[in-house]
Structure formats: structure tokens, C-alpha cells
Amino acid sequence: MTQLIKLADKAPVAVGKKRKIYEHPFHKEWLIKVYKNNSKKPKFFLNKYFVSMHHHHSYLSGFVRELREYVRSRYLKECSIIPHMQTIIGFAETDMGLGMVVLALRDAEGNLAPTLKQLIKQKKLTPELKVMLNSFFTLLLHVELAVGDLNWKNIVLAYDHEDGERFFLVDGLGDKTFLPLHRMFKPVRRHYIKKRIAKLRNNIDKELP
Ligand SMILES: Nc1ncnc2c1ncn2[C@@H]1O[C@H](COP(=O)(O)OP(=O)(O)OP(=O)(O)O)[C@@H](O)[C@H]1O
Ligand SMILES: [Mg+2]
């Protein structure tokens, strides 16, 4: 029988809007992302129907669409964003439901890699890192994959002995909308990414004049 990995009694190392992130109990270099079902109890039937439809869609897009784009990245002839994508190891059955297992990205001290938001807020985005970030943005602009949620918490700065520091996309792959417009239409994709990059640059300028 499948042994469920116990996470419910542990503290997550990070929490997003959709998922809780736990260290894998047997492999410290892995993380497990589990979907948090934080459904409020709706009063009316119609409400309940839409809430459950929304959860179903968000659950599926969290797993299937992200995975689909991940697999597709390996099929595309040139996909220069690959070295900047978190590695998906697989799936795990946990007491909090199906979890996605990924390689943990860390800083030089072994802590969880800081997000772009943390770097900006803590004024740690040096001019060298800004140059690195700009190259990362350029790659994103030309990416053939659907990136449906580009924000400063989905980008982290990781360190490893061989390659030094590098920006990674840890989430946001795959369309978030019912119709996968980013995957289907390049102009939609580019327009969205351009807009999001402009927003990120704006955040940087506001915090780091
Ligand atoms: N591979 C990873 N390595 C290090 N940290 C990670 C990794 N994946 C996620 N994180 C951390 O966990 C946080 C939440 O993860 P993730 O963005 O996957 O969750 P989410 O709930 O899907 O996010 P959202 O709030 O965008 O819906 C990230 O902002 C990041 O700080
Ligand atoms: Mg996220």
C-alpha cells in the first residue's frame, strides 16, 4: 500500500497563494508543493458551484498546465529558459493530497533562495544582479512557453558552487485562464510578459532609486 508522506504536522518552509511548500522529510534537497484547499463556505448553491469550479480549475492548472509546459520545454528545439526553471522531480502522495516534488533552490548559506520581492525590499539587488535580471527578462520575453503568472514571488535568486548565482522561475508556468491563450497565441504571451516585466522594473525603481 502507498505510504503517505506526513506533512500535515510539519511547518511549511514557504506559503504561496495556492500552495504550501514543505521540505521533503527524506530528501532535504527536495521540496514538496501541496495545494491548499482554503475554500470558504459559500452560502448559496450558485456560489458553491463557482467556488468549487474555480478550485478545480486552479488545482488542475497548478499541476497539469505547469507540468505540460515543463515537458514541452524539453521538446522545443531551443528553449533558453531551461537553465532558469526549477527542476521538477515528480509527484508524491502526502497526507495533504498530491504533492509536486521539486529541487530546492538555495542561497550560498543553504537557506531557501530569496525571492525577487525579498531582494528588492531588503535592498539587496546590486547593480550586477540588475544586469543578470535584465538578461533573465530578455529570455522571458522570447520564451515559447506559456508563463501565466510572472510576479516577484515566482522569481528567486539561487546559488550553486559550479554556476554561482542565477535567477530562477519557481512558479507561473502554464496559463491561468480557462482558455490557454498564452500557449496558443504568441502576441498574447509577449504582451503579458512585457507588461509584467514593466511592472517588476517599476517596483525596482520605486524601492531602489
Ligand atoms: N524550487 C524552489 N526553491 C526554493 N524556493 C521555492 C521553490 N519553489 C517555491 N519556492 C518558494 O515558495 C514560494 C511559494 O511557491 P509557489 O510560487 O510555487 O507557490 P504558489 O502558491 O503556487 O504561488 P502563488 O502565490 O504564485 O500562487 C515561492 O515564492 C518561493 O519563495
Ligand atoms: Mg507562486
pLDDT at 3 > cutoff 60: yes
Closest ligand to 88 CA?
A: 1
Reference 167, options 78, 85, 88; nearest CA is 85
pLDDT at 202 > cutoff 50: yes
Residue 138, sorted as left (phi over 0), alpha (psi -120 to 50) or beta, turns out to be alpha
Check: pTM over 0.75? Answer yes or no.
yes
Task: Give the span between the Cα atoms of 56 and 189, in whole angstroms.
Answer: 24
Ligand 1 pocket residue status of 86, Cβ below 6 Å: yes
Closest ligand to 176 CA?
A: 1
Task: Give the span between the Cα atoms of 25 and 120, in whole angstroms.
Answer: 31
Cell of 42: 459559500
Give the atom of ligand 1 at the shortest distance from the alpha carbon of 19. Answer: 21
How many CB atoms within 10 Å of residue 70? 18
- Band (pLDDT 50/70/90 cuts) for residue 145 is very high
In this structure, which residues have their CB less than 5 angstroms from ion ligand 2?
A: 16, 154, 171
How many CB atoms within 10 Å of residue 202? 10
- Band (pLDDT 50/70/90 cuts) for residue 39 is very low
Q: Which residue has the higher pLDDT, 46 or 96?
A: 96
In this prediction, what percent of the chain has a pLDDT beyond 90?
Answer: 74
Among 55, 153, 176, say which to mutate for ligand 1: greatest number of ligand atoms within 8 Å of CB.
153
Q: What's the pLDDT at 177?
A: 83
Residue type, 156: V
Residue whose C-alpha cell reads 510572472 in the numeric block? 150
DSSP-based three-state secondary structure for 23: strand
